[in-house]
Chain A
Amino acid sequence: MATITKPETLLGKRIRRREDPRLITGTATYVDDIKMPGMYYAAILRSPHAAANIRSLNVQPALARKGVLTVFTGKDTEHAGSVPCGAALPGLRVPHHHLLALDRVYFVGHPLAVVVATDRYIARDAAELIEVDYDVLSAVADPEKALAAGAPAVHPQWPDNTAFTFHQEGGEVDKAFAEADVIVKQRITSQRLIPMAMETRGVVADWRAAERALTLYTSTQAPHLVRTLVAQVLGLEDNRLRVVAPEVGGGFGSKIDTYAEEILMAFVAMKIRKPVKWIGSRREDFLCTIHGRGHVDYYELAARRDGEITAIKLKIIQDLGAFLSLLTPAIPTLSVLMMPGLYRTKNIRADVVGAFTNCMATDAYRGAGRPEATHGIERMVDILAAELKMDPAEVRLKNFIHNEEFPFPTATGLVYDSGDYAAPLRKAMDMVDYGKFRQEQARARQEGKLLGIGMSTYGEICAFGPSPATPAGGWESSQVKVEPSGKVTVATGISPHGQGEETTFAQITADELGIGLDDVIVVHGDTSLVPYGIGTFGSRSTAVGGTALYFALQELKTKLKKWGVTLLESEDVTLADGRCTCNKSGKSVSFQEIAFAAYRAMKVPAGAEPGLVSTYFWEPPNFTFPFGAHIVVTEIDRDTGEVFIRRYVAIDDCGKILNPLIVDGQVHGGVAQGIGQALWEQAVYDDNGQLITGELMDYAVAKAPMMPWIESGHTVTPSPVNPLGVKGVGEAGTIGASPAVVNSVVDALSHLGVRHIDMPLTPEKIWNLVSAGGGK
């Protein structure tokens, strides 16, 4: 009788993250933990001005400092290529982005020179000795001001500060507006944010001249993309460049990009023929790691009296910053794709203007274009409801795409995979007892209290994505290696940095192979260890990378079965529970026995080869489209304007759930960043282009004591796009949160005539509105 090694499935279980012990005991290896014999340290001199011509640059005083090896300036890197932008749009103006400024600086923090020294303190001190003579120019830091006539030109060759315009249209917009019973309009902003990974960016570059081999350790979300792009820029063969993402302390999208410093350290290492390290300070991370959001949106909604939305018009002004980072111009086009939200209307018109400003580039930050779109449409639905004096839930329920309409082609060219949009809303309304709350609110208003309830029913686009729609490709790879002992090593092309795939991918593998979780390890983030992969972003890791793993496992199972047939000398075998069993004799061989036999190879099955390895590259046929409903109850201190979140209910539908503990964590973290945008966070540049929220003393990220209790729940609508039925949940919380919070606060103040408030909802803004409302 065969022993049953694994009686239950692991998928769907709350399994603790296997990553955590090393993280909470301080034994994980981050870039700054890497030390090499003979390693030099780099410090970067950065511009204190947002716009200036460089009259002269004297590096002699730095070179004279004891311990300084060399200094590189823009002249040295002039022909070393350009920091890459991977997004393409018709007519896109891409400024040449030198690794180091040549004769002009374009934003505060713009790198001018890199000092290489024997330790980081000497490097920093020496960088300050460099003498720069600036001819300071007028700067522009606001995208609308940048587009106005007479604004300072960020790039002198393009005086209109316009990088691109983008138009998308579907259906009959003009007709719908002409026939509308009601039209509502609103300007809605989504402020610039700092992604604020706990670990700042950093690079160690190690060049072995004799081997012509370069290893780059970098804090990135996409090591293979870094390899391809750095190799291209520096003219190095990509098979001689190894990129390692060691432990990465958060990214939130900001570490998808290939940055100047990554290319620069590779350049320096190849020049000095020694390893070199650069670790960004928090200040550098504020100034020179991409920012998120930065939208000014003009919305118009056409609707019938009964609440049916008949058309949406949207003009987006996207603050791009001075240079285009990897995906900068693509982000607002994602907003356009998701502008209809969960609603049925096929009449949409969008116009995007990408505006250069003398600021750091914006790019993908948790949600990347979808939070802006969701915030806009979810605010507009509430504004429409207020105009029609309808309940906001009723307007949503009236406009949702019906369950029988899936797969649903949208006016923006997407096909929503599956959905049951009313389900999470109804569940969330039940959890807060919506009807009862409205009565309580009415009573509270009688007593002069300001109590509000707000909802958002968000949709998002995840699992990036089909390759034709994703710069650099949207597939993912996985390799499953069974060792002779029967232990399994999974190599994945995604690059987890907090998402927990070392756990979930082991769950998938253990379940498919019928072995224990501890028999599996998952490796990632090293281009010499894993097949070419795309990386971790856009809530794609499980839906695309997990599916690649799933298919690799199916191939592996076919091989296992072939070995089982040979070992059992029977064609009639079943592979289950970690054994291959002959259905006639009942004899069986264990997974471990098969593994050993495959490497010992005494008798190789027909059509098989020795060893047990399987590699699969999976191209997804579509995106996935998670959705959900968040409901927030707020109370406002009418004397001070401070907002208190009394309840936060999040019902998310991310398809099938592989590990509820990890999904909860993703929702909580996402909601924290969404509430952060709604209430506290903002990157503020002054008129001179100085970042005045450039330290954690002034930029308020959400901290644990500031967070409400999150009541989390789910509905489960499997995705038909992949066999796991998963959709993705990494960004859902961020996307759902900000409109729910703002809708709640606007609801609390609606009887004072308040219709919209731009984020962040600072107490002062609220207090001004309450005061203007007569203090009623």
Chain B
Amino acid sequence: MIPQEFEYSAPKSLDEAITLLGRGAKPLAGGMSLIPMMKLRLAVPDHLADLGRIKDLSYIREHSGSLLIGATTTHYAVESSALVRSKCPLLAETAANIGDVQVRNRGTIGGSVAHADPSADYPAALQALEAQIVARGSKGERAIPIDSFLADTFTTALEPGEIIREVIVPIDGAGVGVCYQKVAQKASGFAVVGIAVRIQRGGEKLSMVRVGVTGLSNRAYRATHTERALEGRTGTPAEIEAAANLVAQGVDANSDIHASAPYRTHLAKIHAARALAKALARAE
């Protein structure tokens, strides 16, 4: 690759990185999106701050009912973590579906979320998990709910100079079933449509249904119509199908050479039904 000339810094601490960002540097995490864009010169940053040398930014920890995942934790680390697999299997399943082995070895959760690609896998799961994104800037730290964080295509709630430090996801108790199901674009591996489901059964009824959708529109979103249609129900096949049919309600679907808007919408419904059924089976 032959990018345009740029300055390169490798800060040793997050505060150092924030200082560099204040001077206009662009943060580089795994580089799985930024580097291809620089290769094509669609991104021409003057200055890169490589977060890879910041030691205390890659971790997976359990803390008072949540999992804390450091921003530069790779997809492979998430996918293969025994802790994530047992405490937040939806995130592990999603990580395992990202791109290919090479991408999973280098790509990071913070980088993926900060990039806010509308076809990225993680955001669907993070929506279903109602995750919090912890951002730090020169003025301090704040936790941003994922739904407000994902503002638009390639656009987040991060302020200039802010950097993601951590992603917080809840640890679900017994009786919760999850599933991530995607249609991968054959060339890139990105989600044409990706559906993340988290269901809790309380007795006969479904006490909680969370559905995150990626690939379909300008940003990953919660399919609240689907969620409401199922909560309080028992989850019969007919109920699942009816609820899945609401997954794209009110959504302006994307259209490109890989899938037209009507086909994408159709895929979202089909895979929502499949993911709901699978999650339900796992919740039993």
Task: Using CB atoms and an 8 Å cutoff, list the residues of chain A in contact with chain B.
Answer: 43, 120-121, 124-125, 128, 281, 283, 639-640, 680, 684, 692-693, 695-701, 706, 763-764, 767-768
Contacts and interface: CB of A to CB of B under 8 A. Distances in A.
A698 B257 contact: yes
Interface string B1-14: 11011000000000
A675 B24 CA distance: 48
B86 interface: no
A767 B265 CA distance: 13
Nearest to A693: B257
5 contacts: A125-B5, A128-B41, A281-B39, A640-B267, A763-B263
A692 B185 CA distance: 15
Given A43-B2, A125-B5, 16 more contacts: A121-B2, A124-B2, A125-B4, A281-B1, A281-B2, A283-B40, A640-B183, A684-B257, A696-B188, A698-B188, A698-B257, A700-B187, A701-B187, A764-B259, A767-B266, A768-B263
B139 interface: no
Contacts of B188: 696-698
A668 B259 CA distance: 29
B12 to A, nearest CB: 27
B270 A121 contact: no
Nearest to A119: B2
Interface in B166-220: 183, 185-188, 190
Given A120-B2, A693-B257, A680 B186 contact: yes
Contacts of A639: 270
A700 B186 contact: yes
Nearest to A682: B257
A261 to B, nearest CB: 16
A697 B5 contact: no
Contact of B187 (A43, A697, A764): A697
B187 A699 contact: yes
A101 B232 CA distance: 69
B215 to A, nearest CB: 14
In the A-B complex, list the 3 residue pairs whose CB atoms are closest, starting with the nearest.
Answer: A700-B186, A700-B187, A697-B188
Contacts of B2: 43, 120-121, 124, 281
B36 interface: yes
Nearest to B2: A124
Contacts of B4: 125, 128
Interface residues of B, number: 22
Contacts of A124: 2
Nearest to A699: B187
A767 B1 CA distance: 39
B186 A706 contact: yes
A563 B41 CA distance: 67
A697 B270 CA distance: 25
A698 B270 contact: no
A695 B39 CA distance: 11
Contacts of B1: 281
Nearest to B192: A763
B260 interface: yes
B40 A695 contact: yes
Nearest to A695: B40
A6 to B, nearest CB: 45
Interface string B242-284: 0000000000000001111001001100100000000000000
B41 to A, nearest CB: 8
Contact of B263 (A696, A699, A767): A767
Contacts of A693: 187, 257
B171 to A, nearest CB: 32
Nearest to A641: B263
Contact of B260 (A120, A128, A699, A764): A764
A697 to B, nearest CB: 4
A206 to B, nearest CB: 22
A125 B3 CA distance: 8
A119 to B, nearest CB: 10
A86 to B, nearest CB: 33
Contacts of A767: 263, 266
Nearest to B260: A764
Nearest to A124: B2
B261 to A, nearest CB: 11
A706 B190 CA distance: 15
A275 B124 CA distance: 53
Interface in B1-33: 1-2, 4-5
A281 to B, nearest CB: 7
Contacts of B259: 764
Contacts of B40: 283, 695
A432 to B, nearest CB: 26
A698 B187 contact: yes
A639 B183 CA distance: 13
Nearest to A696: B187
